[in-house]
A and B are shown apart, each in its own frame.
Chain A
Amino acid sequence: MTAKLKMEGVSKVFPGVKALDNVSIDVRAGEVLGLVGVNGAGKSTLMNVLGGIYMPEEGHVAIDGRRVELRRPADADSAGIAFIHQELLYFPTLTVAENMFISHLPSGQVPFSVDKRAARRRAQQALDQLGSAIRPSARMEMLSVGEKQVVEIARAVAQGADIVIFDEPSSSLSIKEKESLFAIVRKLKAEGKAIIYISHFLDEIEELCDNYAVLRNGRLVGSGSVAEVTRDKIVELIVGQVVSGPAARQRRKSGAPRLLLKGIRREGFLEGVDLELNCGEVLGLWGLMGSGRTELIRSILGLDPLEEGSITLNDSSGARPIAQAELLARTAYVTENRRTDGLFLEEAIWKNISATNLEQYVSGRMRVLDKGVEAKTATSMIKRLTIRAPDHTTRAANLSGGNQQKVVFAKWLNRQPEILILDEPTRGVDVGAKREIGELVESLADAGTSVLLVTSEIEEMVALADRVAVLRGGAVAAEMQGDDINETELMAAAIGTGAARA
């Protein structure tokens, strides 16, 4: 029996990176392939090739033994490939049926009209097929995350897709919803769909998948039958041989305590987090998406509501409770997404850099800003962080990702903070800038700054963190120190039980 979907020798090069290197996978009808790998291993690039978003330089895709050209998303559609994305694409105020058929609504008898009954009937059929009790006339915004996902799957089914790709579908689901998701996947399998299931949770792979494929650095490093492999073996494949260097490095000894979090709670996100951040250390906050990492940071800084918990700051004047607004004013916070809340994209570099510390440039009773000093600070920051820009008047929007991120760092360093919080500090940043940012963080910690690091990149965590707190389901589930901080342990800690949120 030939494979339903076959990808052969697929390579994709981005400037400076070989994102995919000669990757071949195949899935048969009625079979589930589990695709695993760390972030940046090439999973999404591979799936974007299937989705018609990237054209590979080498290799091809074949369906039912026939080669297909996937040049744009519509080609993937007509080839019967459907994606169930992590971030669902839907229209909240439209009904389930309308959402499912928005791009091909059935025509009614009256000219221009839509046959709503037909749409609802077909939606009902697809939902029945999945064993779901969702009503086609319900408004999308009334559904839970899990139900929305079911609708997305039903859309794929209704449009006759026979290759269904799940991209980390369980990361934001409750346990119950997860079970019904699994039931649906099994149903699709029984109906003879070919399924690719991407997940970080190895127990899900074991439970659902027939075969597995592991990607690392853009290469297929292992594949085979799930029945014939151990979990440890897969972890090893995911992480790879631990090369000498970062893992063996000297970890800093924690200094005096600086920030004490106790019982931080926010309904639906944080279930009582206790954390201690010391002087002169890098504390890693490790966990999967949805574990509450970003929420924790935003809550203690007063950017999101905080329902319960105490924050204590220890500085020269001793330990005392601190208000969120004051903490925000004394902390440097490199946010997850520099374009939305890290930079003033339309403004010049110098204005970005001075924004966090305007008081410093004020003189006189009129509170006039000294633009000359602002420019000077910016120029010296550009030099110190080797930001590649013509000069300090360049707009932030005109910089590359790496240089934009350095501007974000510059604006915070300008404040000479005691506490530095980094949320995915090297996302969308080229390799060179990534290394430079790493070195910068190290030197800051050496100088006594307390660094709280959130990252999804396992190598980064291993390379930078002195201590790691593992966050799961909105609470600290474990802590690691010294040589325990290695890729295998981190992977195991995160995927551990597979129950992301109870």
Chain B
Amino acid sequence: MRDDLARAKRIGMEYGFYLLLLAIILVFTVISNSFLTISNWAQIAIASTFLLAAAAGLTLVLINGEIDLSIGSIAYVAATVVYLTADVPAGVSVLAALVAGLAIGLFNGWLVAYLGMNSLLVTLGLMIAYRGVALVFTEGTVKQAGDGVAALGQLKLFGIVPVIFLVALAFLFIFQWVLRETKLGTFWLAIGNNEDSARKIGIPVRRAKLAAYALCGISAAASGTLLAAYLGEITTFTGRGMEFQAVAAVVIGGTSLFGGRGNVFPGTICGVLLLIVINNGLGTRGVSPFVYPFVAGALIFIAIYLDSIKNRARQA
């Protein structure tokens, strides 16, 4: 009997969050006529695109038991690269932005994995430094993206599904594949479980972490590039506060801050959706937009409380 109870509790902890998401969608559907409409969901898709792209890579870093707070600034740097390359073909421009993200990610990973710096503090410092670098180039003003890139941002599949959303999804699925189906992914999970044991057993810990940061850099850069493409311009708000939103979404999606536990799909996707859907749903109901931060804060709080319970055994 006790085992059954424990089992039910475990299942509840594991899947309860997905049920919550479903319930919230249901409630909004019932109380709001404009919630479950194609145009509203197209809006939700657009709104979640940029956070999805950034959270995908951050999930990998968190699974390693590390963190990257510079992702918002990486996004802005990438968007700035899009501006600086406005005159070249769109493909080259996008590629340049992603390469910039990769380079920054590698640098972050090198500092954390090879020099052993604390990831929280070091990426907090870099968050400021990278944004400063980008601001020097944009002079703190709004800049235009190239016409080619801006056109890409408006592409729609079947006239309804935004391509940028599909690009973000592609990142999520690729990362999920890397996480679940490759050696690298297994190494990440092992490192997040217990870095010392991983090292003892012969896992290339430093290289694996470096790879996670590199992918995180690319994914953050993708987020900034997609935003630049969608807006057709680069605003100084690109990526502002994104690091905290992304951390929240990833953790709500069940990825542990203790490392070693979590997934991109469905976890992180649902975490992002939950935040966006609540924001959107409250909007369609005409609820004061000022309520949203409360709800979001409470959700994060509950999510991390559950996380700390799940990992209590490992903490001790």
Contacts and interface: CB of A to CB of B under 8 A. Distances in A.
A binds B: yes
B186 A108 contact: no
Contacts of A93: 189, 192-193, 260-261
A112 B203 contact: no
B189 A114 contact: no
A92 B314 contact: yes
Contacts of B200: 89
Nearest to A99: B190
Q: In the complex, which range does the number of interface residues on chain B fall in?
A: 20 to 34
Interface string B260-281: 1100000000000000000000
Contact of B193 (A94, A105, A108, A112): A94
Nearest to B10: A142
A88 to B, nearest CB: 10
A316 interface: no
Interface string A92-107: 1110001000110101
A91 B260 contact: yes
A76 to B, nearest CB: 13
Nearest to B178: A112
A91 B184 contact: no
A85 to B, nearest CB: 11
B315 interface: no
Interface in B204-229: none
B116 interface: no
B183 interface: yes
A107 B182 CA distance: 8
B160 interface: no
A501 interface: no
Nearest to A106: B183
Given A89-B200, A102-B201, A102-B203, A94 B186 contact: yes
Given A89-B200, A89-B201, A103-B203, A94 B189 contact: yes
A103 B205 CA distance: 12
Nearest to A94: B189
A114 B183 contact: yes
A105 B183 contact: yes
A92 B194 CA distance: 9
A113 interface: yes
Contacts of A74: 202
B4 interface: no
Interface string A112-132: 111010000000000000000
Contacts of A92: 193, 260, 314
A51 B314 CA distance: 28
Given A91-B194, A93-B193, A94-B190, A108 B181 contact: yes
B19 to A, nearest CB: 21
B39 interface: no
Contacts of A90: 197
B212 to A, nearest CB: 14
A105 B190 CA distance: 13
Interface residues of A, number: 18
Contacts of A113: 181-182
Given A89-B201, A103-B201, A98 B186 contact: yes
Interface in B287-316: 314
A59 B260 CA distance: 43
Mostly, the B contact residues are helix
Interface in B155-201: 178, 181-184, 186, 189-190, 192-194, 197-198, 200-201
* B186, B200, B314: residue with the most chain A Cβ atoms closer than 10 Å: B186
Contacts of A116: 181
A232 B203 CA distance: 47
Nearest to A77: B202
Nearest to B184: A112
A363 B181 CA distance: 64
B43 to A, nearest CB: 36
B189 A89 contact: no
* A91, A92, A94, A98: residue with the most chain B Cβ atoms closer than 10 Å: A91
B210 to A, nearest CB: 16
A266 to B, nearest CB: 14
* B197, B201, B314: residue with the most chain A Cβ atoms closer than 10 Å: B201
A98 B192 CA distance: 14
Contacts of B184: 112
Nearest to B261: A93
A403 B110 CA distance: 39
Contact of A114 (B181, B198, B202): B181
A397 B170 CA distance: 51
B260 to A, nearest CB: 5
Interface in B90-117: none
Contacts of B193: 91-94
B81 to A, nearest CB: 28
A75 to B, nearest CB: 13
Contacts of A94: 186, 189-190, 193
A91 B260 CA distance: 8
A446 to B, nearest CB: 38
A112 B190 contact: no
B88 to A, nearest CB: 31
Contacts of A89: 197, 200-201
Nearest to A105: B183
A334 to B, nearest CB: 21
A94 B181 CA distance: 13
Contacts of B182: 112-114
A431 B261 CA distance: 45
Contacts of A112: 178, 182-184
Contacts of A110: 181
Contacts of B194: 91
Contacts of A105: 183, 186
Interface string A78-94: 00000000000111111
Nearest to B197: A89
A102 B181 contact: no
Nearest to A115: B181
Nearest to B260: A93
Contacts of B183: 105, 107, 112, 114
Contact of B190 (A91, A107, A108, A114): A91
A103 B202 contact: yes
A170 B202 CA distance: 27
Interface string B34-70: 0000000000000000000000000000000000000
Interface of B: 178, 181-184, 186, 189-190, 192-194, 197-198, 200-203, 260-261, 314
13 contacts: A74-B202, A89-B197, A89-B201, A93-B192, A94-B186, A94-B189, A98-B186, A103-B202, A105-B186, A107-B183, A112-B178, A113-B181, A114-B186
Shortest 5 CB-CB distances between A and B: which pairs?
A: A91-B193, A91-B190, A93-B260, A112-B182, A93-B261
Given A94-B186, A103-B203, 5 more contacts: A89-B201, A91-B194, A91-B197, A102-B186, A114-B186
